[in-house]
A and B are shown apart, each in its own frame.
Chain A
């Protein structure tokens, strides 16, 4: 009878995956089930487009599996480990200019245009998306992980390597930037 992996901790599942046991697929599936949504959200928001998000998401899981089945060291924070892989992939892609960067002018012009139209909720959502795109990468990453993913600063710190104080500062500034950007909408609503 197969063990109930839903009761295992992440690190225990990682150990099963490391061992190369016949039930490694189930362990990988359980890890995937636990963290795929969060990672997918992170990839989607951090890249700003689905195609890049899909590429990074897929590569991250493949790399995670490759490392987990070949390493001799157990990982305690599995979620942070996967996020770190995805983040590095994102940074690599960005450095290789494989990801389109949204310019301030692009967003500003569409923002001004949108302000003239009815401020329906869908537009607000679209404006928010653009506001997120407008943020610096560091700010956006911290904001997405903390505000959308409810990830504690300490965990974000483990992923990004930044200090908690720096992350707080980024999130706070990101909030202010977004409020400023959405000010016309907020005042009208």
Chain B
């Protein structure tokens, strides 16, 4: 057997042990044979490296199954390829976006109804105030109209007074107001009732200085109720400590704090997988669900999980061959997520930028995911995000580490509660 036959039989894997010894000896002695051996080894590795074990394209598989009268590719374990044009895909994106907007509008409508309910409560509160004050003033004036005017005066002058830093200015203002309003408020100072709100511990040090006979119990839900007589009998220092009734109302109508956000996100990534079909059989793909806790107005932390395909390539080296594998498996992932929002930078705190970073584990390794874009928040209970995504997956195969990444965009609907 000559050297050329040795060489070929070695690469065919048909060389016996004894022949191998002879061949290796010849390799050590013959530089030409050694060069041919090295060349052939290089060619062989390069040839195999150049050939990826590509699966036939999904659309080709589909057409074969259709041609033989079978329903689909589920029997092959390959997800059917999306037989849609780019136009249809874009249309699908727009349609889903429109559905999301309609959803938000409906929620917005529901939210407005809720706000109206709050407003009604506010009106009830005001009416209650008026009734209460009427009770107070009726005792001295016997006129509901006057009592309303007195209340009006009370609010207006009081609001101006508490913003005054100067005691004399406040007193002057009070005196001016008394003169201006005397034509419709003819109430002697001593006739005006003092309110002693039992539920307000801070209700006026100076109340103790006033005549107890003038005090009238006012049944009100307000905890910091200003009173009419204060404007006549108190000094501005004590008055300045008084809160405004409007402030109270605004506190009453504030929405409840919503600390949690649940987010359903649709991931529209651009895979590098070409025609390699995914193994998705669940029908849950390119979607993520998250639960965040709002640390403050700008930041939220939480957990996010999802399922999507990650294109992978890796090498499997054996004694006789090198296999290059390409695949596009759909897998679950989950981990921590951090979201930041800057409403101040946007428009009317309704359309503003956001960014999200997350990391955790996928079925085949660790991932890092970032997203940034804009948030549309017409209500405090619902918002919608749309942004660009970048995801890095680090995976291992046959003890070697690889990484793959995907870039795309996503949109999500967020519900706060």
Contact = CB atoms under 8 A, between A and B. Distances in A.
Interface of A: 25-26, 28-30, 32-33, 36-37, 40-41, 44-45, 54, 57-58, 61-62, 65-66, 121, 124-125, 128-129, 146-148, 150, 153, 168, 171-172, 175, 178-179, 182-183, 186, 189
Contact of B55 (A30, A37, A61, A172): A37
A28 B71 CA distance: 12
B110 interface: no
Contacts of A37: 53-56
A153 B55 CA distance: 24
Given A58-B64, A189-B42, A168 B70 contact: no
A175 B42 CA distance: 12
Contacts of A29: 65, 70, 73-77
Contacts of A183: 39
B123 interface: no
B67 A175 contact: no
B47 A148 contact: yes
A125 B43 CA distance: 10
A124 B8 contact: no
A129 B51 CA distance: 10
A172 B50 contact: no
A110 B61 CA distance: 34
Given A28-B68, A58-B64, A182 B76 contact: no
B274 to A, nearest CB: 12
Contacts of B75: 25-26, 28-30
A26 B77 CA distance: 10
A124 B45 CA distance: 11
Nearest to B320: A150
Given A58-B64, A128-B47, A150-B321, A175 B56 contact: no
Contacts of A65: 68
A166 to B, nearest CB: 14
Given A25-B75, A28-B75, A175-B43, A41 B51 contact: yes
The main secondary structure of chain A at its interface with chain B is helix
Given A26-B75, A36-B56, A168 B43 contact: no
Given A26-B75, A29-B76, A168-B12, 5 more contacts: A32-B76, A41-B51, A58-B60, A125-B50, A147-B47
Interface residues of B, number: 37
B56 A25 contact: no
A124 B46 contact: yes
B64 A148 contact: no
A33 B48 contact: no
Interface in B1-41: 4, 8, 11-12, 36, 39-40
Contacts of B77: 29, 33
B63 interface: yes
Contact of A40 (B43, B54, B74): B54
Nearest to B48: A148
Nearest to B77: A33
A40 to B, nearest CB: 4
A28 B4 CA distance: 44
Contacts of B71: 25
Nearest to B39: A186
B179 interface: no
A36 B51 contact: no
Contacts of A61: 64, 68
Contacts of A58: 60, 63-64, 67
B44 interface: yes
Interface in B164-201: none
By Cβ-Cβ distance, the 6 closest A-B pairs, closest first, are: A29-B75, A125-B50, A65-B68, A40-B56, A29-B76, A172-B8
29 contacts: A25-B70, A28-B68, A28-B75, A29-B76, A30-B75, A32-B64, A32-B76, A37-B53, A37-B55, A37-B56, A40-B56, A41-B53, A41-B54, A57-B60, A61-B64, A62-B64, A66-B68, A125-B50, A128-B46, A148-B48, A148-B51, A153-B12, A168-B8, A171-B8, A175-B11, A175-B40, A179-B39, A182-B43, A186-B42
A86 to B, nearest CB: 12
- Residue of A29, A65, A182 most packed against chain B (CB within 10 A): A29
Contacts of A32: 61, 64, 76
A128 B50 contact: yes
Contacts of B61: 32, 36
B36 A171 contact: no
A29 B42 CA distance: 37
Nearest to B60: A54
B76 A33 contact: yes
A124 B46 CA distance: 8
- Residue of B57, B60, B320 most packed against chain A (CB within 10 A): B60
Contacts of B36: 179
A58 B60 CA distance: 7
Interface in B43-102: 43-44, 46-51, 53-57, 60-61, 63-65, 67-68, 70-71, 73-77
